[in-house]
Amino acid sequence: MAFTAGVITFPGSNCDRDMAVAIRDISGREPLRLWHGDADLPGNIDFIAVPGGFSYGDYLRSGAMAANSPIMRSVIAAADRGVPVLGVCNGFQVLTEARLLPGALMRNAGIHFVCRTVPLVVENGSSLFTSRYETGSTIQIPVAHHDGNYYADDETLDELEGEGRVAFRYGENVNGSARQIAGVLNAKGNVLGMMPHPERAIEDAQGSADGRALFEGVFESLSVA
Amino acid sequence: MKVLVHVSLKPGVLDPQGRAIHHSLEGLGFGGVSDVRVGREIALEVADDTSDEALEDMCRRLLANTVIENYRIEKL
């Protein structure tokens, strides 16, 4: 697969290595490791992963500082050009704070940090990221977060649902998210943010390999393009 | 010039922290509390000629997330 993937590391990221391993394992190519302070992305970048963790110690709001770091200006520009961007967990928080995705991630409704594998319903099986899943199917993916309670106003939620931009919904109430939304797409469909960690579900030894298909779907579209 | 920025959750946005604090207050025996909302106060020391527009811009672009939060600027 001749494409160039990159994984961003912010101070406090802790799922960047897992993400890099998943990309390497599934694509057979080593992704570039990108540092938050880099102002520019490589011009040939084909796929950007914004990983989980606690960027900048979650100061101010989860993802708020990272969203304003130098590399995010280039990520926003790349997303505007149509480069696929996947934000997982803290990465999802960063993408909402950067306004690449609508809504916000708030403290879990039950206050507690939630760390377990949860059922996810694939709401849209035809997006760039979900083409390898059947719409309506249920997959098992782990979550590990404190601020995963998705919020957007009703008008925005209606718009997301009407346009098929809810990629995943929790199969049970995990964190109080509005309409149990677990992952959303931008209007163009090339940016996905999700709280669950597909990169932690790529082989059976991890308890589920259901996350593999997400990466396979994106990488397939890139190698065909 | 000292500037205080008060950040609060918008009305209608659920505040799990406020709810937990409310619960604890009740546990301590404080009655008559009908609601608790948690906000944040950010104290800035800025140049005296800092414009209102610049302060607004700081709030909109970083200090508050206007998707879920309101802010109020208080110059001291």
User: What is the tens place of the pLDDT at every residue in B15-58?
Assistant: 988 999 999 999 999 999 999 999 999 999 999 999 999 999 99
Taken in order B21, A109, B13, B60, the sign of the CA dihedral is positive
Q: How many domains does chain A have?
A: 1
> What range does the domain containing A118 cover?
5-224
Q: Which residue has the tokens 């590990």?
A: A144
Is A76's Cβ below 8 Å from some Cβ in B?
no
User: What is the tens place of the pLDDT at every residue in A41-54?
Assistant: 988 899 999 999 99
CA–CA separation, A196 vs A140, rounded Å?
A: 9
Domains of chain B: 2-75 (3.30.1280.10)
What does the pLDDT read at residue A5? 96
What does the pLDDT read at residue A224? 64
How high is the ipTM of this complex? 0.86
Query: For residue A210, with 0-12 CB atoms within 10 Å meaning exposed, 13-18 middle and 19 or more buried, which class applies?
Result: buried
User: What is the tens place of the pLDDT at every residue in A32-80?
Assistant: 999 998 888 988 899 999 999 999 999 999 999 999 999 999 999 999 9
What does the pLDDT read at residue A3? 83
**Residue in A with minimal Cα distance to B38:** A107
User: What is the tens place of the pLDDT at every residue in A152-183?
Assistant: 999 999 999 999 999 999 999 999 999 999 99
Flag whether pLDDT at A1 surpasses 80.
no
Query: Domain holding A92: CATH number?
Result: 3.40.50.880
Is A107–B13 a contact, with Cβ atoms under 8 angstroms apart? Answer: no
Confidence at A130, pLDDT banded by 50, 70, 90: very high
What does the pLDDT read at residue B14? 87
Is B67's Cβ below 8 Å from some Cβ in A?
yes
Pull the structure tokens for residue B73: 């600027």
Is B65's Cβ below 8 Å from some Cβ in A?
yes
Is A151–B13 a contact, with Cβ atoms under 8 angstroms apart? Answer: yes
User: How high is the mean pLDDT of chain A?
Assistant: 95
CA–CA separation, A122 vs A118, rounded Å?
A: 13
Confidence at B12, pLDDT banded by 50, 70, 90: confident
Return the number of other C-beta atoms located less than 10 Å from residue A71's C-beta: 22
What does the pLDDT read at residue A12? 96
A199 labelled catalytic: yes
